[in-house]
Amino acid sequence: MNDQTLAQPETQTDWWKGGVIYQIYPRSFQDSDGDGIGDLNGITRRLEYIASLGVDAIWISPFFTSPMKDFGYDVSDYCDIDPMFGSLGDFDGMLAKAHKLGLKVMIDLVLSHTSDEHPWFQESRASRDNPKSEWYVWSDPQEDGTPPNNWLSIFGGPAWQWDSRRQQYYLHNFLVAQPDLNFHCEEVQLALLDVAKFWLDRGVDGFRLDTINFYIHDRELRSNPALPYELRNDSIAPQVNPYNHQEHLYSKNQPENLAFLERLRALTDQYDARACLGEVGDAQRGMQILGEYTKGEKRVHMCYAFEFLENRKATADWVVETFRRFDTHAPDGWACWAFSNHDVRRHATRWDLSDGANRAYVMLMMCLRGSACLYQGEELGLHEADVPFEALQDPYGKEFWPEFKGRDGCRTPMVWEIQDEMAGFTTSSDPWLPVSPAQSEFSVDRLEDDPGSLLHHYRRAVALRHDYPALAHGSQTGMSAEGDLLTFTRTDGDEEIFCAFNLSDIAAHLTIPEGQWTAIAGVHSDLEAGAMDLPGWGYVIAKREGE
């Protein structure tokens, strides 16, 4: 592991600012007990590999007790580990080893909703006058028996489910089995803060906050307006989903959420060097919400929106437009950029990337202002796996197949060993999702033996960010696009770094800013000439020398 990895943020407290976070989807990372499902001890076994990438932290998707209808994002006990992943003791062992290796550990808190098997919901649905009767979002039907408004579920159909016991509807923004908590109830907020405290006391370094803008709904349950056709896109939900037909003005994004986020931040600030990363799911107002949620030092530390998780390729123009919007809506905020995660097709497939393009994009991410999330396997160049319908697990994909095949293609098991039938992921012959033979060709052991592989390139890219404070947390100026050529400058104190990326496979002419420059990555031509031709997917990152 690069010794400089741990010292680069402005202070140890600010490790997250410009930090690189590696996302682990635990079901698919490493199986340690042969049941075909990844687990905490499997993560522990592979921590040296993660540390060797030079990243600052890991983010682990949910491992809490759950009926697994949405694979852990339907929590039935926030303060225990689902047996398929191990035990609290296993978590403590993993956490201790991660810290010994210099890795921070962030866990995925799903606060907007629970499982319908959570004891809170079981009590709430029992009657209209029990102590937890107001812990979830309940409403009487309209006079004709239909739901109280037109809100839709991201997973398809109405966002309301009839409950015969209470003879009321309850709100679910996701699966029917994921009822929404009522954040207008003070007891709910206190209970969720206690959950956060439980894990902070246990030693976690922060939280990835799932669907952070879904926490609070409109008290009056007003219907959402229709969204004009020209504004509809598939950055949050696929085009085949009518969810895209609404402007979600009242079902989420409520201003009262800011007060809860400040309570959560105040709690985390009672502990040393902790951080909160929020997921903002909104196709129209994502950047504005990011700005609101990260403004100042009383809300969450950082958020990510979906600009670079969309099907739209990160062209030079789109990168410039994204940062223009960021500078407009979040001048005092902090973003965390990701190209892939467990909810979207892998970007190597989504953007149809060659090996050279993959290399350019990770170097670009390490040069952009903000923090960065890497998703397990992207450092190997993994493309989306082809999962046949009969092997599909994702309820989202089953609902909209075949136009939308769901999220299983990015969740197939990690490939560790090329010679093993199960790619070193499990000893089971029946893993929870099939191991992709096409992905196995990109196994860790095969790429480790090749100094020129994409895996080693990722290590160099991450190390570059840590070697230069300007890239980690400096200012960013002069971003512009000329065709496919993207240029900008990063500055921290006396350190100035010029970055240029050719985001196409056709050579582009680059003019170097005046001054004396030394190339620190990419094309090492004679910069003193003042100009060069960048080859397709070429880049140059240069440091200004003292005058």
Q: Is the dihedral of CA 28, 32, 35, 39 positive or negative?
A: negative
Out of 31, 70, 205, 279, which one is annotated catalytic? Answer: 279
Contact 476/489 with Cβ under 8 angstroms?
Answer: yes
Give the relative orientation of helices 88-100 and 186-202 as an angle to the nearest 10 degrees.
60
Contact 110/73 with Cβ under 8 angstroms?
Answer: yes
Rounded-to-integer distance, Cα 332 and Cα 356, Å = 34
- The string over 310-320, giving b where at least 16 C-beta atoms fall within 10 Å of a residue's C-beta and e elsewhere, is beeebbbebbb
| DSSP code, position 426 | -
Rounded-to-integer distance, Cα 337 and Cα 353, Å = 18
Helix (H, G, I), strand (E, B) or coil at 12: helix
Backbone angles phi, psi at 165, to 5 degrees: -70, -50
Write down the residue that tokens 């992943």 correspond to. Answer: 85
DSSP notation for 458-526: HHHHHHHHHH-HHHHH-EEEEEEEETTEEEEEEEETTEEEEEEEE-SSS-EEEEPPSS-EEEEEE----
Out of 39, 82, 210, 379, which one is annotated catalytic? Answer: 210
Backbone angles phi, psi at 388, to 5 degrees: -70, 155
Rounded-to-integer distance, Cα 386 and Cα 110, Å = 28
Whether residue 210 lies in the annotated active site: yes
Pairing mode, strands 168-171 and 160-163:
antiparallel
Nearest alpha carbon to residue 209 among 277, 304, 286: 277
Give the relative orientation of helices 454-467 and 355-367 as an angle to the nearest 10 degrees.
20
Q: How far is CA 121 from CA 75, 115, 188, in A?
A: 11, 8, 12
DSSP notation for 232-286: --SSSS-TTSGGGGB--SSSS--TTHHHHHHHHHHHHTTSTT-EEEEE---TTTH
Rounded-to-integer distance, Cα 56 and Cα 44, Å = 16
Give the relative orientation of helices 257-268 and 286-294 as an angle to the nearest 10 degrees.
50
Which residues have C-beta within 8 Å of that of residue 130, sequence separation ≥ 6?
123, 124
Residues assigned a catalytic role: 210, 279
